[in-house]
Amino acid sequence: MPDAAPRPRQVRLFRNNRSQAIRIPVEFELPGTEAVISRDGDRLIIAPVHQSKLLDLLAGWQPLDDEFPDVDAGLPPLRDVTL
């Protein structure tokens, strides 16, 4: 059975330079290092930014139908090099 959502908790707002800030209690901690904040009426909604994985990105790409140009066309033949 999944853990129950934490009960609402009253927290204090404070100033950090010119921004208003809030300390998020550990039971409400978000994963990662970035979040998106939005407003819904008088509510603020804070959601974590999920970092997409490279394999997920590549899986969403469609194959290219275009032919790649022959970039070697017109170049002189390669020479053998002795090292």
Q: What are the tens digits of pLDDT across the range 47-79?
A: 999 887 888 888 889 988 888 888 888 899 888
Q: What is the pLDDT of residue 74?
A: 87
In a domain, 77, yes or no: no
- Write out the residue range of the structural domain in which residue 22 sits: 13-59
Collect all residues with Cβ–Cβ distance below 8 Å to 35 and sequence separation of at least 6. Answer: 46, 47, 48, 49
In a domain, 53, yes or no: yes
- Cut 0.85: pTM above it: no
In a domain, 3, yes or no: no
- Residue listed under structure tokens 């002189």: 76
- The yes-or-no verdict on residue 3 having pLDDT over 80 is no
pLDDT for 30-47, tens place per residue?
998 899 999 999 999 999
Number of domains within the chain: 1
Dmax (CA) for the chain in angstroms is 76
